[in-house]
Structure 1
Amino acid sequence: MQNFPEFFRIPLKDWIDSLMSWLLSNVQPVFDVIGWIILKVMKGFEFIFTIIPWFIFIPLIAFIGWQMTKKWKFAAGIAVMLLLIGSFGYWEMAMQTLSLVSAAVLFSLLIGIPTGIAMAQSNRVEAIIKPMLDAMQTMPSFVYLIPALMFFGLGRVPAIIATIIYAVPPVIRLTNVGIRTVDPEAVEAAKAFGARRKQVLWDVQLPLAKSSIMVGINQTTMMALSMVVISSMIGAKGLGMEVLLAISRIEVGKGFEAGISIVFLAIIIDRITHYIAERQEKKIKEH
């Protein structure tokens, strides 16, 4: 009596397996092109981050932090955290992690912002995409590794793909919300002056939604960074790999050093993007 009736069983896994087999047989060249583009972008970021010596990179990022906040304590905090990462011996791995996260965030924005705009422009599109976003945000992050592995094999490309899937929902949601919550009077005023739909979007809605979009970018970046350890399971290099190796070898000290290095990167990126969002909000209020 405890067993569920066999005739009620829905062979969902068989359908999914069949779909995956068909995609691998018929669409593999498309995945190869996508993988090549992602790898080139990631290597571009890696080249930029690794070609700059640490003694130039640290003052540069600290100066950027000071320029945004005009707070020398914030700039000093950035410098100290980056110096600590280097002192732990993880500078190169931190740059690898930054390049992976940067590539994932770039592609997330290229997908997420246009999708959010489409949702804001159409209730039907919003009704279709919203359940997908709910599923993406509630599904265990490990599940994303399976299709990424199937289509792209081991390495950094599937790690970036899995990170994109995991990190893209916030920027989609907040772009949609930002555009939808723009003051209707501003939109009506633009229409009254003869602005077309595209002009209203580019000249009114997007500028006024900038602060919301920046919050979405911040959250997407943080979620991408939170995937570095999980993505290391399928071959992503960087700090996540060091944490994974420390877990497998039960090296508490090594795991703590690599983990705290990830935390430092998260704090620096979070604070900088947070201050950018604040500046955008102040500009909107001033206008």
Structure 2
Amino acid sequence: MQISPGAFLAPVVDWLNANFHGVFAIVSRVIEAVLGAIEAALLSLPALAVIAVLALLAGLAIGLRAAILAGCCLGFCLLAGLWQASMQTIALVGVAVFISVAIAFPLGILAARRPRIEAALRPILDVMQTVPPWVYLIPAVMIFSLGRVPAIIATIVYGIPPMLRLTTLAFRGVPRDLKELGQAIGAHPRTILWKIEIPAAMPTLLVGLNQCILLSLAMVVLAGLVGAGGLGAEVTRGLTRMEMGLGLRAGLAIVAVALLLDRLSRGALDRRAARRGI
């Protein structure tokens, strides 16, 4: 006797499409609108102007090294002839990471404070991190069809587990005496969270953010298979056409985007923590 999970999941997907089509349509429109706005902002100016502006902002917000890194990474994407695809990938990853963190961060705090919730989430996260990443694309495409929307949904699902796990670990690692000190001086729980716990947990939170960015970028590349565009589409095109040059350029551009997003996010948070005297 052969058991097929698809035989059980297909009716569920059909039921969701039949009963929640309006909700899925609204989600699609919202995601497309946000992505379109970000891409339009990145592509509205000449590439050199965008590179100069982003490098200047990185230099002012983080430092000279960040400005040089931003200029080099974006400059490579331009010289490789993949500027538009790179901006599309940055928009996709940015939106996916933002939503993943917005979901995983509060859940991680809740799991750190409620062992039963953490115990309930653990097997779900184990499954989410064990399933091959491209599998997430199947139900997303069945519900949202081909395009950028299923890519974003699958990327969000794939990016939540590492951020959630490391958020839980970070808040569990906050020294108890620091929290007791805040309680002793009569600080509000919200003040203890923002002024004591989050700064103390910041190093581990940065690791979680780093993992979320890198895994989201990897998923967006795989999403090129379902018409998400960006650098993933260029990698897919190079593979299907056996064009080694295109595949290599797109792969190096992905590395450049990964370095850019990782270093800028880490540098911005480190700079913020340093200003607080942590």
When normalised by structure 2's length, the TM-score is 0.91
The residue aligned with 2:14 is 21
Render the CA deviation track for 1:224-249: whole Å, top value 9, x for unaligned: 11123210111101111011011001
CA contact (8 A) 1:31 1:152 kept: yes
1:115 CA displacement: 1.4
Between 1 and 2, higher relative CO (CA 8 Å, sep ≥ 6) is seen in: 2
Q: Which amino acid aligns with 1:223?
A: L
Structure 1 position 124 matched with structure 2 position 133: no
Q: In 1, distance between residues paired with 2:185 and 2:36?
A: 47
CA 1:250–1:118 in structure 2 vs 1: closer, same or farther (change >3 Å)?
same
Q: Which amino acid aligns with 2:117?
A: V
SS at match of 2:245: helix
Render the CA deviation track for 1:4-48: whole Å, top value 9, x for unaligned: xx3xx6564332223222222222222222222222221121122
CA 1:84–1:200 in structure 2 vs 1: closer, same or farther (change >3 Å)?
closer
Q: Choose from 174, 177, 185 the match for 1:185.
A: 177
Structure 1 position 46 matched with structure 2 position 31: no
Q: In 2, distance between residues paired with 1:76 and 1:200?
A: 37
1:81 CA displacement: 3.0
Q: In 1, distance between residues paired with 2:176 and 2:22?
A: 46
Structure 1 position 101 matched with structure 2 position 93: yes
Say which is worse superposed, 208-217 or 260-269, in terms of deviation: 208-217
The residue aligned with 2:149 is 157
1:127 CA displacement: 0.7
Give runs of aligned pairs for residues 191-230 of structure 1, distance below 5 A: 191-230=183-222
Q: Choose from 240, 249, 252 the match for 2:244.
A: 252
Q: In 1, distance between residues paired with 2:55 and 2:37?
A: 23
CA 1:277–1:199 in structure 2 vs 1: closer, same or farther (change >3 Å)?
closer
CA 1:203–1:278 in structure 2 vs 1: closer, same or farther (change >3 Å)?
closer
When normalised by structure 1's length, the TM-score is 0.88
Q: Choose from 240, 262, 266 the match for 2:258.
A: 266
Q: In 2, distance between residues paired with 1:275 and 1:214?
A: 10
CA 1:279–1:130 in structure 2 vs 1: closer, same or farther (change >3 Å)?
farther
CA 1:76–1:282 in structure 2 vs 1: closer, same or farther (change >3 Å)?
closer
Q: In 2, distance between residues paired with 1:77 and 1:212?
A: 24
Render the CA deviation track for 1:68-116: whole Å, top value 9, x for unaligned: 55445x5334323322221221111111111111111111122111211
State the number of aligned residues. Answer: 278
SS at match of 2:187: coil
